[in-house]
Amino acid sequence: MNLSIVIALYNERESLPELLERIQSVLSKPLGKQESDTLPEYEIIFIDDGSTDGSWDFISSKAEEDKRVRGIKFRRNYGKSAALYCGFQAAKGQVIVTMDADLQDDPAEIPDLYNMVADGTYDLVSGWKKKRKDRIFTKNIPSRIYNATARAVTGIKLHDMNCGLKAYRKEVIKNIEVYGEMHRYIPYLAKEAGFTKIGEKPVVHARRKYGKSKFGLSRFVNGYLDLLTLWFLARFGKRPMHIFGLFGSLMFLAGGIIALWLIIQKIYWQSHGMPYRPVTDQPLFYLALLAVVLGLQLFLAGFIGELITRNASERNKYHISDER
């Protein structure tokens, strides 16, 4: 199978008929650049993330009419990451394209995205909503700040990392795990799995036609915290002692040296008949003790993390690109 279209949705019943019609219209023509190219073998997978507006009724009826349309329904709303994870597991195509169900992503972009991946140029191609049709202060400006932060932390030079319109090689989505709210950082997950051929393509962005957005401003705060989590796990997930042990040791040594210096200083001044200040009267002494305690706790946290990692089932899970 050439292509899988994976669409995660939540309460988008009004958009679905037009979306499906436009996708099928695009895929009724060859995806290649030559007129002699054959029609694509494809599937369209809708993942209903606990919708309550009748979205599943539409999906199930279309799945009965056309075997190329498939549906997965959650009993409740789990979030976009969970929906994409299940969609990726079910996808059979050599190239997987994800898009949103709100008609803000144009299905006419699918052939170009497909070809950029199918010809081997890229492992992953992310859409770039260069001219956004969203509100400036609630989405455009926060999105620019968010993407600038993501570029700085991940080292991936994408203008719009959170764009729902993306294309992947099958190997990419089968070697990453999307969970929590990590769908925003699939390019980073792919990079850490060894897929470094990551590109982007400017895509058309339309205004929402029906309903309202399911994501508020909280997504930017959550996205920032998720980014820090991913960065930390990628760097120290399998070697927690390298960070906790390092900072713990430094704090323990610094606190111990300061406390010892204050004690020696007090003894020296006292033995030479010089005026001195009791060690316990000095705030620096208590800060030093605090540093010793915190340093010891950090060191123990790293040690416990190493014990957990050593016994983890995925401690020796590595991404192999080829074997002969």
- What's the CATH number where 50 sits? 3.90.550.10
Residues 24 and 45 in one domain: yes
Going by the DSSP 8-state scheme, the letter that residue 292 receives in this structure is: H
Q: Whole-prediction pTM value?
A: 0.74
> What mean pLDDT comes out for the span 160-175?
91
Distance CA 55, CA 48 (A): 7
Task: Tell me the C-alpha to C-alpha distance, in Å, between residue 66 and each of 21, 63, 92, 111, 195.
Answer: 12, 5, 17, 21, 34
**Structure tokens given for 110:** 């699918």
Q: Which of 215, 226, 230, 232 is nearest to 142 (CA)?
A: 215
Q: Is 224 a member of any domain?
A: yes
The one-letter code for the residue type at 296 is: L
Answer yes or no: do 129 and 226 share one domain: yes
- Does 31 score more than 80 pLDDT? yes
Find the mean pLDDT for residues 298-320: 74
Do 133 and 246 have their domain in common?
no
Look up residue 106 and give its DSSP letter.
Answer: -
> Which of 214, 236, 258 is at the close of a domain?
236
Tell whether 202 and 291 lie within a shared domain.
Answer: no
Residues in a beta bridge with 98: 6, 166
Whether 146 is covered by a domain: the verdict is yes
Domain with 252, as residue range(s), is 241-310
Torsional sign, CA 114, 2, 68, 4: negative
Nearest residue to 319 (alpha-carbon basis) of 184, 158, 189, 226? 189
**Alpha carbon distance, N-terminus to C-terminus of the chain:** 25
Helix (H) or strand (E) holding 98: strand 95-100
Pairing of strands 95-100, 166-169: antiparallel
Instruction: Let me know if residue 324 belongs to a domain.
Output: no
Q: For residue 210, what pLDDT is reported?
A: 78
Is the pLDDT score of 127 beyond 80? Answer: yes
DSSP 47: E
Return the ∠ at Cα 321 (arms to 316 and 323), rounded to 5°: 90
Same domain, residue pair 149 and 167: yes
Which residue in this structure is represented by tokens 């705030």?
A: 283
pLDDT tens-digit series, residues 173-224? 988 888 877 888 899 889 988 899 999 999 988 887 777 766 555 666 777 7
Establish if 317 belongs to a structural domain: no
Express each pLDDT in 63-105 by its tens digit: 999 999 999 999 999 989 999 999 999 999 999 999 999 999 9
Number of domains in the chain: 2
